[in-house]
Chains A and B, each alone.
Chain A
Amino acid sequence: MNQSMDTTGSRTGMWLFLYTEIMLFGGLFVIYAAYYRMHTMDFIASGKELDMVMGAANTVILLISSFCVAASITAVQQERKKLACTLLSITLALGFLFLINKYFEWGHKFDLGIYPDSPAMEDSPHGRILFFSLYYTITGLHGIHIVIGMILLSVTMLFIFMDKIRADHFVFLENAGLYWHLVDLIWIFIFPLFYLIL
């Protein structure tokens, strides 16, 4: 079977989709910037309540996973199917680890009564309420993207197994990889804005 493929068109389409994702998170960061400007002191105090070590660990996890995805493309190009699948499995495991960290992080915050509309938050300064609402919205939306990325990469691995992704045709892997890198890219900004502000 000789299907004609337009890989450049396919990749361009993926980038166009990524632009919409950039604007989606960009909009949320704009809200963050506005509220930071209006409630700077509350934001700084609230940021200190987040666990920096946890945030840094998740940053490292995503960076390593991003490397694995990029390396898996090289592996496919070199027809090293096994290596490509191993690298993608590591990525999936790291994605899972990221979500486990997030689970404990959110769980701990819930235990402290920090969640939208909680009784403990009622008397908080307005800026603190806004900070944690944004924290849950942005990291929550990001977490959903991690899950989608993991599903995409699982499908990609299946395609490599089935030889649907090969050295002469791997645009699906490239596009799934682009999505995963974007998720990493967004975290690169979430980390300093929420965990590191002083």
Chain B
Amino acid sequence: MIKESESHMQSYGKLFSILLILLALTGFTVFISRVDLGSANIWVAILVASIKASFVLLYFMHLKYESFLIKSSFLATIGFLAILIGFMFWDIAFR
């Protein structure tokens, strides 16, 4: 029988502090969206969302403790999504 985990156990305190960070970032993104930064608003919103997503991925989804296979295939997925988005903007710019 293959041994169940290399699975890493995370303490409640640590998970809870991640939750607090996520809630604080939510508050921040709401606040900053009310400040007029012009066209930078959307980029700040996406940046904060990406930071929040990273916390969820790394800790709640255990990505930090996963194997190289999962880490690299995840990054590849995001990479292909970035290419997709990049090509779309390329198309719009030269249409």
Contact = CB atoms under 8 A, between A and B. Distances in A.
Give the interface size bracket for A toward B. Answer: 35 or more
B49 A188 contact: yes
Contacts of A70: 10, 15, 18, 59-60
B85 A33 contact: yes
Contacts of A184: 56, 60
A136 interface: no
Nearest to A36: B42
Q: Tell me whether chain A's interface is mostly helix, strand or loop, or mixed.
A: helix
Interface size class on chain B is: 35 or more
A126 to B, nearest CB: 16
B94 interface: no
B45 A193 contact: yes
Interface in B2-59: 2, 4-7, 9-12, 15-16, 18-19, 22-23, 26, 29-30, 33-34, 36, 41-42, 45-46, 48-49, 52-53, 56-57, 59
Nearest to A75: B12
B16 A67 contact: yes
Interface of B is mostly: helix
Contacts, number: 139
Contacts of A157: none
A30 B69 CA distance: 27
A64 B30 contact: no
B71 to A, nearest CB: 10
Contact of A71 (B12, B66, B73): B12
B21 to A, nearest CB: 10
Interface in A1-43: 2-8, 11-12, 15-16, 19, 22-23, 26-27, 29-30, 33-34, 36-38
Nearest to B74: A15
Interface string B77-88: 110110011001
Contacts of A178: 61
Interface in A113-165: none
A86 interface: no
A192 B84 contact: no
B36 A196 contact: no
B89 A37 contact: yes
Given A12-B67, A15-B74, A197-B42, 10 more contacts: A7-B4, A15-B70, A15-B73, A23-B80, A27-B84, A37-B92, A63-B22, A70-B18, A196-B29, A196-B45
8 shortest interchain CB distances as A-B pairs: A192-B45, A196-B33, A67-B19, A19-B77, A26-B81, A70-B60, A181-B61, A63-B22
23 contacts: A3-B1, A6-B2, A7-B2, A7-B5, A7-B7, A11-B66, A15-B74, A19-B77, A23-B77, A26-B85, A30-B88, A38-B92, A52-B30, A63-B19, A74-B9, A77-B7, A77-B9, A177-B60, A177-B61, A181-B60, A188-B52, A189-B46, A197-B33
